[in-house]
């Protein structure tokens, strides 16, 4: 059992140590989970392209299909799908390696987030997105794991850009609310249908809306994000938004 609670009365360095242990425990649980689930998930995802390949090749052998450009192209596409999946598996293993290094630090949140979020200004300009961020006051001493927070924000902001048309808006807000670091990424993009709001956090799930946009994507980003957030003892959810999507992450302090 990896459940660890950091006692309320701890403060200062002891509290940081407690949070580091809690985070390490969360990660162990997370790593165990990806080990258990990855093999099953990936072999499930491989099944369709392998099956398609096999039936095409058999049909060619039996002379039911002829070897023309169109059939070769469909073989090529299935091979690409398999290559793509293999690449994702490698990425997941890399991520797993990174996440074994726990590093909870006390940082000046103002400085840290302003610098981190400023990084996306150029990217926003290139994609003609109206991107703004706001780091609220009171964040001068917060505990966080830089690497984990960077992966979380990168996944959410990259998605917000990807699923928002040129001319749209992306707003990021960082705030401290009741002992929780609150990260919010709101966009005016294509949005997520109510009935798919839980599903998008599942591995490989992509909404029909996003599939039809040919933006490319693996459907892994949000699953990884949710697992990292859980490993840190936090929570991720969608808030209502007039137009587009509004992702909120809460990380305990
Ligand atoms: P992908 O690689 O497909 O972007 P993710 O796991 O990051 O994978 O996201 C899963 C799915 O959730 C996406 O395919 C898309 O359908 C939906 N999604 C994620 N972020 C947004 C967003 N900001 N706006 C609209 N849809 C989104």
ipTM of the complex: 0.97
- Model pLDDT, residue 15: 79
Residue 157 has which token pair? 């902001």
- Does ligand 1 lie within 6 Å of residue 163's CB atom? yes
Which pTM does this prediction carry? 0.76
pLDDT above 90: percentage of residues in the chain:
44
- The pLDDT of 135-159, averaged and rounded, is 92
Nearest CA to ligand 1 atom 11: 206
Q: Whose CA is nearest to atom 25 of ligand 1?
A: 191
Among candidates 80, 85, 86, 145, which has minimal Cα distance to 112?
A: 145
For all residues of the chain together, what is the average pLDDT?
87
CA atoms within 13 A on the CB side of 87: 8
**CB 207 less than 6 A from any atom of ligand 1:** yes
Separation of alpha carbons 124 and 166, rounded Å: 9
Distance 79 CA to ligand 1 centre (A): 24
**Longest pairwise C-alpha distance within the chain:** 76
* pLDDT top residue among 217 and 89: 89
Choice between 10 and 229, residue whose per-residue pLDDT is larger: 229
Give CA–CA dist 182/163, Å, rounded.
22
The mean pLDDT of 79-97, rounded to a whole number, is 79
pLDDT in tens, 93-129: 777 666 666 678 999 999 999 999 999 999 999 999 9
pLDDT tens profile 176-194: 998 899 999 999 999 999 9
| Cβ pair 109, 139 in contact under 8 A | yes
Question: Does 168 contact ligand 1 (Cβ within 6 A)?
Answer: no
C-alpha 111 – ligand 1 centre gap (Å): 29
Q: How far is the CA of 224 from the centre of ligand 1 (A)?
A: 12
């Amino acid at each position: 059992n990896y459940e660890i609670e950091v006692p309320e009365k701890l403060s200062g360095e002891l509290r940081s140590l407690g949070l580091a242990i809690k985070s390490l425990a969360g990660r162990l649980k997370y790593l165990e989970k990806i080990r258990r689930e990855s093999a099953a998930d990936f072999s499930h995802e491989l099944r369709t392209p392998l099956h398609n390949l096999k039936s095409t090749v058999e049909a060619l052998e039996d002379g039911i299909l002829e070897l023309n450009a169109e059939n070769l192209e469909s073989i090529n596409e299935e091979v690409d799908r398999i290559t793509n999946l293999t690449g994702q598996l490698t990425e997941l293993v890399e991520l797993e390696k990174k996440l074994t290094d726990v590093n909870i630090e006390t940082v000046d949140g103002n400085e840290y987030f302003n610098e981190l979020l400023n990084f996306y200004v150029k990217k926003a300009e290139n994609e003609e997105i109206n991107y703004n961020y706001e780091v609220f006051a009171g964040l001068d001493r917060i505990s966080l794991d830089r690497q984990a927070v960077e992966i979380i924000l990168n996944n959410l902001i990259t998605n917000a850009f990807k699923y928002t048309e040129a001319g749209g808006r992306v707003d990021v807000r960082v705030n401290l609310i009741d002992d929780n670091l609150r990260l919010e990424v709101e966009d005016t993009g294509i949005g997520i249908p109510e009935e798919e709001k839980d599903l998008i956090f599942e591995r490989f799930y992509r909404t029909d809306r996003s599939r039809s946009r040919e933006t490319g994507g693996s459907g892994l980003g949000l699953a990884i994000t949710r697992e990292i957030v859980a490993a840190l003892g936090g929570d991720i959810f969608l808030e209502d938004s007039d137009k587009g999507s509004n992702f909120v992450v809460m990380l305990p302090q």
